[in-house]
Structure 1
Amino acid sequence: MTSALADLLARHVGAGTVPGAVGLLGGVEPEVVAVGEAALGGPPLRDDAIVRIQSMTKAVTAVAALRLVEAGLLGLDVSVEEWLPELAGRPVLTSPGAPLDDTVPVVRPITLRHLLTNASGYGMVVEPSPLADAMAANGTEAGAQPWSLGADAWLARLTELPLAFQPGEGWRYHHSFAVLGVLLSRVTGIPLADHLARDLFDPLGMADTGLWVPPEKLDRLPAAYRHDGHRFVETEPAGGGPYAGPPTIDVSHGELVSTARDYHRFLRALVADDAAGPPLLEPEHRRLMLSDQVPAAHKTPESFFPGFWDATGWGFGVAVQLEGEHAGRFGWSGGQGTDFFVDPDGTAGVLLTQVELGAHVWPLVEEFQALPAPRA
C-alpha cells in the first residue's frame, strides 16, 4: 500500500508538474519518498538528493543569528553598522515609488531585528518603480539565479541605492537575509559557510548541507528547471552550475543546498524539546522566531504578493499561519520549487523539487501542505 505522500508525488510527476520530487512527512521518524528523475531522461531521483533550497535558508540563518545574540556577540535592537559600515547614513526614499533622488535622511540605524523581520528598507520591489529599475541595472534585484558577485561587492552595489522606507517602518522581502549572511560572516570573522558548519551543521549531523556541493557528491545534485508555460527549460545541469564545487568568490550572502533528512534534523532540533542535545535556541528567542513580528500597518498589498497577509504573519525567517486549519504552523518555500512546514504537534513536511515556483508548480506545493499527518 502506498502512502498519501507517495501518491501525491507520483501523480504530479506523472502529470508533468516536475521531473522528480523528494518528500518527507512526519515526526521523529518521518516517511521519506523520492519519485521521478534527477534530470529529464536521466537517472532516478535519489531520496538523498542534494538540492538548491534557496529561501528555506532564511530559517537557518535566523537561528544562527539568534545563537550569536545568546552568545553575547549581537543584540536584537543594536545597530549592525559596526560590522556593516556600508549601511550607515543611507538616504531613504520619500515613498517606495519615488525618483531615486527624492530622499530624506535616515532616522535610525538598521538593527538585527530589522534584518530578521524584512524591515531594513532593502528588499524586493514588486511594483514598477525607479528603485526596481536601478536594482535590475546594478545586479541586486531578486531572481532565480544565484549570486554573480562576491558578498562584499554585492553589498557595495546594494548600498549604492536608497532605502525604500525608514528602517523598522515597512516590510520588503528577501534582501535583508542576504545582508544578514554578510553580517554573520563579519561578526564571526570567518565565511558564513564555515560558521554554519561549525555552529549548526556538524553538531546536528547535517553532512550534506552547505553553500555548495562538494565534487565527490555532485552525482546527487539534480538539474534545475523553469517552466515557460509549455515545457521545462533547463537552467542548471545535473551535477553542474554555480553550486557545483567550491565557488571562487565569497558567497556569505548566498543560499544553501540540503537534503530532506538534513533539513528535518534542523527542524527537529529547533522545535523538539526531546531532541538529542541542547536546544538550538532559548525559549524566548524560539517564541519570537516562530510568532508574528510584523505590525498590521506594515502588511500592505504592495509589500508582497496579493493575499499573502490575509492569514499569514512573519516571524524571524519564517512565515506563520495565524488562522484556519493550520493555525500555528510555520514554514516557508524556496524559489526553486522547495517547501517546508512544521505544525504545533511537531509534524514536519519537507518538499524538494527543482522547478522554479510558479503557476505550474504551486498546485503541488498547496496539495503537499494539505496532506494529513501520517499515523504514528
Structure 2
Amino acid sequence: MSTDLADLLRRHVEAGTVPGAVALLGSADPSAEPEVAAAGVAAVGGAPLRDDAIMRIQSMTKVITAVAALRVVEAGRLGLDESVERWLPELADRRVLTSPTAALDDTVPAARPITLRHLLTNGSGYGMAIADSPLKDAMAANGTEAGPEPPALGADEWLARLAELPLAFQPGDGWRYHHSFGVLGILLARLAGRPLGEHLDDDLFGPLGMADTALWVPPGKLDRLPAAYRHDDGGLVETEPAGGGFYAGPPAVAVDHGELVSTARDFFRFARVLAAGGEGLLSAEHLRLLTTDQVAAHLKTPDSFFPGFWDGMGWGFGVGVQTEGPRRGRYGWAGGQGTDFFVDPGGTVGILLTQVELGEHVWPLVGEFQELRPAA
C-alpha cells in the first residue's frame, strides 16, 4: 500500500477534517490490484470505518448516468441531438427568460427543444442559480433549488415543478450546473419503462460487478453506511446517522432524479473501464466526447458557476476536464458529500470517499489527494 495514501487519510482524520475516509489509487491495467486505504471511524465515537463502506457519492453519479445515456444512444433508442420531449412532455413549449436575472414573466419562446446533448453538457437552461434573481427565489419556493439535502420530492413532481419555471437561457446557449442530470435520470427511466435503479443495475452495475452501487442501501448492508456530517463554527455536525437517513432502505418517493451510493472498489470497476478505453461499455467516439471539453468558450461565463471554475477547466459529459496545465487531459468530478475521483490520460484512477460536505475544511484534503500517484 502507498504510505502516502494511508498517511494522507490518517493526517486529516487526526486533524478533524473528517471522522473517516476511504481512498483508492489504481490503474487501467486489469491485472493490477488497486491500493485501498481506510482511516478513522464510521461515526464520531463509533466503529472503525471499513474499506468497503457504502458511501453517498452524490455528483459522482453524473458520469454514471452519462455513460448509461450514451449506451442508449448506441442502442439506437435516442440521438444525441434529438428532442427529449417525446419522453418528457413536461419540457415541451418552454419559455426562456430574456436574461437570467429577468422577472419571471419577461420571457420569449424557446428557439429549439431540449436535447440529450443539452442535458449531458448542462446546457438545457435549467440549473443552479448562483446570483440572486427572481428565478433563484422561485426555485427555492417550489422545492427545486439544489442543495446538500436529499430530494424531498418524487421524480415526476420534481420535474413538473421544474417545468413550471422558465429556462435561464435558450437550450444550448448557456451553462448551469446540476439540474440537467436530474432530468437525465428521469429520461433514462422513462426510456427504459422502469425505475432508473433497475435499469442501471441490469445495464451497468450487474455486468461490471458493482454489487454495492444503487440509489439506496438495502437493510442487510446498513452496517456499512457511515454517518454524514458538515462543518459549522462549532466543528462537525451530524446530518445523517450511521446506518440511517435518506439512503437507508428503499426511499418513500421515486428517485429517478436522485444520486447513488457506492464503494471505492465498485466505482473503480466502472472508472477503470473508462481509463482502459471503454471497451464493452462505450464506443471510442462516445468515450472521447464524454472525456473532452464540450463547452464553447463563450459559454464559460463568470456567473455560470463559482468564481474561477473555468480557469483551465472544461466540461465533458458528466465530468470536469482539465484543459491546461500539468494535469491536462485529466477528467473526473467531486460529490458534495466529500467525495472525488479522477482519471489521468496515462490510466491512473483515484477515488476519495468521505462523508463530510465539501467546503473550506475538506477541500485541502481533496487537493492533496489529487497530487498522489500509485506506489511504484
What is the percent sequence identity of the aligned residues? 73
Q: CA RMSD in A?
A: 1.0
TM-superposition CA deviations, 1:63-116 (whole Å, max 9, x none) = 000000000001000000000000011110000011111111110000000000
Q: Tell me if 1:12 matches 2:12.
A: yes
1:210 to 209, 214, 224: 214
- Whether the 8 Å CA contact 1:20–1:36 is kept in 2: the answer is yes
Q: Does 1:153 align with 2:157?
A: yes
Kindly state the Cα deviation for residue 374 of structure 1 after the two structures are TM-superposed. Answer: 2.3
For 2:2 and 2:88, the matched residues in 1 are separated by 52
Conservation of the 8 A alpha-carbon contact between 2:343 and 2:350 = yes
Give, in whole Å, the separation in 2 of the partners of 1:2 and 1:13: 17
When residues 2 and 116 of structure 1 are mapped into structure 2, their CA distance, relative to the original with a 3 A threshold, is closer
Is the alpha carbon distance of 1:112 and 1:2 closer, same or farther for their aligned partners in structure 2, counting shifts above 3 Å? closer
Give the Cα–Cα distance (whole angstroms) in 2 for the partners of residues 138 and 10 of structure 1.
42
Q: Is the 8 A contact 2:10 2:40 kept in 1?
A: yes
CA distance in 1, matches of 2:65, 2:275: 16
Give the aligned residue type for 1:346.
Answer: G
Q: Is the 8 A contact 1:155 1:179 kept in 2?
A: yes
Q: Distance in 1 between matches of 2:11 and 2:260?
A: 28
Task: Using the TM superposition, give the Cα deviation of residue 357 of structure 1 relative to its aligned residue in structure 2, in angstroms.
Answer: 0.2
Is 1:29 aligned with 2:30?
no
Report how far residue 2 of structure 1 moved.
6.0
Instruction: Give the secondary structure class of the aligned counterpart of 1:332.
Output: strand
Q: Which amino acid aligns with 2:334?
A: S
Deviations 1:204-256 (A, max 9, x none): 00000000000000000000001013311111110000100011221100000
Counterpart CA distance in 1 for 2:297 and 2:326 is 22
Post-superposition shift, 1:270?
2.0
Q: CA deviation at 1:370?
A: 1.1
Q: CA deviation at 1:353?
A: 0.2
Shift of 1:279: 2.2
Distance 2:374 2:287 in 1: 23
Partners of 2:234 and 2:361 in 1: CA distance:
10
Q: Deviations over 1:117-145 (max 9, x none)?
A: 00000000011111110001111011111
Within the alignment, does 1:246 sit opposite 2:250 as a pair?
A: yes
**Alpha-carbon separation, structure 1, partners of 2:350 and 2:216:** 23
Shift of 1:373: 3.4
Q: Is the 8 A contact 2:264 2:351 kept in 1?
A: yes
* SS of structure 2 residue aligned to 1:197: helix
Q: Does 1:101 align with 2:102?
A: no
Would you say the 8 A contact 1:26–1:374 is kept in 2? Answer: no
| 1:361 aligned residue | 362
| Secondary structure in 2 matching 1:308 | coil
Distance 1:271 1:59 in 2: 13
Counterpart for residue 172 of structure 2:
168
Question: What's the counterpart of residue 78 of structure 2?
Answer: 74
User: 2:131 aligns to what?
Assistant: 127
The answer to whether residue 202 in structure 2 is matched with residue 198 in structure 1 is yes
Corresponding residue pairs, total = 372
CA–CA distance in 1 between the matches of 2:138 and 2:340? 30
Listed as ranges, the gaps of 5+ residues in structure 1 are none
In the TM superposition, what is the alpha-carbon distance from 1:158 to its structure 2 partner?
0.6
Query: Do 2:127 and 2:179's aligned partners in 1 also have CA atoms closer than 8 Å?
Result: yes
The residue correspondences of 1:270-289 to structure 2 (distance < 5 A) are 270-273=274-277, 278-289=279-290
Bigger shift: 332-341 or 264-273?
264-273
TM-score, normalization by structure 1: 0.98
Offset from partner CA, 1:278-323 (integer Å, 9 cap, x none): 5210000000000000000100000001111010000000000011
**Could you tell me whether the CA contact under 8 Å between 2:275 and 2:348 is conserved in 1?**
no
1:177 maps to what in 2? Answer: 181
Distance 1:300 1:233 in 2: 35
Aligned to 2:338: 337
